[in-house]
Structure 1
């Protein structure tokens, strides 16, 4: 099981965000990204919301850095860590535009992009962007098929897309919390990245499908981990999601500064290696 991080500061969900993130700046984000890269963390993430209703911000948070701009910037400050959109809302973009914009990032980062995608859940945001809300699931399926057609292709249907990704395929992790999202992931993606589900629910849903070889199950251990202060508790949480079927774990660590977060990630990487060795 590989370890990634829900990058602090970039999206601040009140239930898990640390106090230091509220005043953190660009240099703090760079510190965390570089430290994750150096520690051998597999990936970092950035979510997408253009705007969040005030009443929803109390639970979802109201701070969301733009994933394309942010991941492009962090690509220039790192060497090997994968760059994951978690998640990109399909209904806000044409698949051709995703292929062009994130394909360019894939080129610039030497093939480190992972597209985490979802159908979206905030009607107010859809309305703000004049994006159709009804039947967004069916449209997302069609968009994923189209994205697979155009990704990494210089020319499609008489249209040129240069420059584009150096790869003709890209990892696609589908977000969601329903059986339909898992079916979409199995049929049209390379992995599933659920949220808000208990271990029993996850196990039952995964058991309903014959997962393809190499299919990624990307889970969160839940809450925050404290690898330096309580390594055994962190190991128990990691082991628990591994037992459910996780191939990758997206983690949040407890910290009081960017420097402390970097120290925690080094300890987290060591724990992940210990888990593998056991």
Structure 2
């Protein structure tokens, strides 16, 4: 089991955003990410929303840093840590846009991209972007197959129900032979999409027990990752609770955990990072992830 980090600052989600994050920017993000890189964390995450209606932002948050720009900067100041979109909404993009832009990110980061994707659920945002909403699941399936066909080659072809292309060049493309794809969601349909079209399942808003029950209903392929989120942890203040929660995620089937940390300042946050590694290692977690190609 590996441990990654849900980056602070990049998302202002009302229930979890902390006071120290207000006014923080790329310098603080770089400090956190470099510390996580040096400690051997597996990945950092960044979410995507383009434009959130003001009334919706009160519940979902209105600040969402763009993952492509954010990760491009952080790639230049780190060496090993991976960059996972959590999640990129497939319905907001043409597949070739994703293949080109994130394939370029994979190039400039030295093969450290993990593409986390989701179908999306905010109808107002789909409508604002003039993207179809009602058939977004079927479109996402086709988009995901199309993206995967384009990541590892400069001359992709695809012929699907929503997207089709041939005789085109998309350069640069990803440096990894196969960019890992984690599929988000919280339904059995999302899990099936992950098994059929992805390399991992990254559910949200499910208890460890619910995840374990869902996983027991399918045969997971060899090497398939289950990526679970921890919620806010306080390893310095309550190491036993942190250990119990990590163990419950491991026992539910997690192969990778995306951790979030409570902190009162940037310095406190980086101290929490170091302590989380110590606590997580006591549960069998690994902080010696193989380097990217």
TM-score (norm 1): 0.97
Deviations 1:151-187 (A, max 9, x none): 1201122211121111231100000011000000000
Name which of structure 1's ranges 148-157 and 41-50 shifts more when overlaid on structure 2.
Answer: 148-157
Q: 2:262, 2:207 → 1: CA distance? A: 22
Could you tell me which of 225, 236, 240 is aligned with 2:233? 225
Aligned to 1:69: 69
1:2-17 map, 5 Å? 2-17=2-17
Runs of 4+ in 1 over 2 A off after TM superposition: none
2-side partners of 1:135 and 1:152: how far apart?
Answer: 28
Question: 1:184 is matched with which residue: 187, 190, 193?
Answer: 193
Richer in helix (by share): 1
Conservation of the 8 A alpha-carbon contact between 1:216 and 1:247: yes
CA root-mean-square deviation: 1.3
Check conservation: 1:47, 1:66, Cα contact below 8 A: yes
1:216 and 2:220 aligned = no
Aligned equivalents of 1:83 and 1:262: distance in 2? 19
Q: Provide the C-alpha distance between the structure 1 equivalents of 2:233 and 2:260, rounded to a whole number of angstroms.
A: 6
Unaligned runs of 5+ in 2: 157-165, 287-293
Greater shift, 157-166 or 83-92, is seen at 157-166
**Quick one: distance in 1 between partners of 2:104 and 2:71?**
12
Q: Deviations over 1:176-218 (max 9, x none)?
A: 0110000000000000000011222211111110000111111
Change (3 A) 1:248 1:57: same
Alignment-derived partner of residue 88 in structure 1:
88
Q: Distance in 1 between matches of 2:130 and 2:200?
A: 29
TM-score (norm 2): 0.92
**Cα distance between partner residues in 2 of 1:259 and 1:159:** 49
Unaligned runs of 5+ in 1: none
Task: Find the residue that maps to 1:83 and give its secondary structure.
Answer: strand
Q: 1:201 aligns with which of 191, 210, 213?
A: 210
Single out whichever of 122-131 and 147-156 deviates more from structure 2: 147-156
Once the two structures are superposed, residues 110-166 of structure 1 have per-residue CA deviations (whole angstroms, 9 ceiling, x without a partner) of: 100000000011011101111111110000000111111111201122211121111
